[in-house]
Amino acid sequence: MRPAYVTRRHTIRVTIVLAALLVLSLVLAAGIGPVAVSFARAFGADGAMTTDYAIIVQTRIPRVLLAAIVGASLAAAGAGFQGLLANPLADPHVLGVSGGAAVAGAAALVLGVDPVSPLVPLAAFLGALGTVAGVVLVARTGGRTTPHALLLTGVVTNALAAALIMLVNAIASYREAQGVLFWMMGALSTQSYGLVAVAGAYAGVGVVALVRHGSALNLLAAGEESAASLGVEIERVRRAVFVAAALLVGAAVSVSGMISFVGLIVPHVLRLLLGPDLRLLIPASFVGGGIFLVWADTLARTVLAPAELPVGVVTALLGGPFFLFLLRRSLRGSR
């Protein structure tokens, strides 16, 4: 599966295979839920009149599309952060960037912004951008971040974000408070196609911008001195990657709140399979993250049916132990 070096052809091939798997996952997952539905009935003659059609088109499809966009965004942002910081533990949630985006999103909600307007992703994007700049400013020394510095900064940022969201919650009206709680939990729900399209556009722009810097991010893995001597304009690349990753995190958080560990698990597993070249790993994480969250959400929707788990619970239960395992390895390696 892993060649001695990554060619354009290999990148395209792997991405197409993963994209096919994503489409298959979307179709399968749209058919799974507390109510049994039939694609044959829904899309057969007079299908548009059936409840099957209504459930699939109005409920299931926007839900699985949203899951794919959120998973894709978080995983690609994770791969980007890991490259930029030359640290495999970096992830939007671990870094506190998701928290920053959620604070800004919740604040926008309480200030009276319509929950389904495109201003919410914009607020979340700006929150993510501010947080990422702050966290990296504090945690980075000489182009690298030690696991300790990264985790401590993330822990503090997350605590701060949680406190701010509580604060926003306290001054919110009862109805708004329900919405704010949603940012804390990390849950997917059925949204309008319009909002799905807005989140998808943010994610698309973000991932394209990130892929364009894949080569520079590869060179940064050998340290800033090395990267600079190979022609990387480090400050420019850093700014561009910040903005791209913040777009991705903003897209994800604005429609789903704080879903943890997707940006950690997906790039890590794909790195084991495909190697660390970010020109391949970023698009592969984008598509692979979509597949991962579609199935995690399907589990969340069905495991306690008819009740629903927030998908953030599923990813945290999977990702928490996984993160501890990675941390253990990383601490051993850095000694």
Partner 1 sequence: MRGTGIAGEALACSYDGVTVLGGVDVVIAPGELVGLIGPNGAGKTTLVRVLAGVTRPSAGRVVLGERPLDSWSRRERARIIGLVPQDPRVEFPFTVLEVVLMGRAPHLTGLGFAGPDDVRRARGALARLGLDGVEARKLDTLSGGERQRVFLARALAQDPAVLLLDEPTTHLDLRHQAEILDVVRDGVRARGLAALAVLHDLNLAAVACDRLILIAAGHILAAGPARDVLTRDTIEQAFATTVHVRKHDLADVPAIFPLPRR
Query: What DSSP element (H or E) covers 16?
Result: helix 8-30
What is the closest distance, in whole angstroms, from the C-beta atom of residue 272 to partner 1 in the complex?
9
* Residue nearer to partner 1 on the CB measure, 60 or 271: 271
Kindly tell me which of 58 and 229 has the beta carbon lying closer to partner 1: 229
Distance of closest approach, residue 102 Cβ to partner 1, in angstroms = 29
Sequence-ordered list of residues with C-beta below 8 angstroms from that of 233, at least 6 positions apart, any chain: none
Structure tokens at 15: 């991405």
**15: how many CB neighbours lie within 10 A of its CB?**
16
Q: How many CB atoms lie within 10 A of CB 35?
A: 11
Kindly tell me which of 55 and 217 has the beta carbon lying closer to partner 1.
217
Give contact residues for partner 1 (rule: CB under 8 A). 4-8, 11, 86-88, 144, 211-212, 214-215, 218-219, 221-223, 225-226, 228-233, 271, 275-277, 279
Which residues face 144 on adjacent strands?
141
How near is the Cβ of 4 to partner 1 at its closest, in Å? 4
- Provide the minimum distance between the beta carbon of 28 and partner 1 in the complex, in angstroms, as a whole number: 32
Measured over the CA atoms of residue 152, residue 329, residue 271 and residue 6, the dihedral's sign is: positive
Looking at beta carbons only, is 176 or 277 nearer to partner 1?
277
Token output for 33:
């839920």
Which residue type does 222 have? A
d(CA 127, CA 123): 6
**Minimum CB distance to partner 1 smaller for 31 or for 275:** 275
- In the complex, the smallest distance separating the C-beta of residue 2 from partner 1, rounded to whole angstroms, is 8
Structure tokens at 52: 């099957």
Q: Which residue number, 177 or 228, has a Cβ lying nearer to partner 1?
A: 228
**Cβ at position 16, least distance to partner 1 in Å:** 16
| Cα distance between residue 141 and residue 124, in whole Å | 27
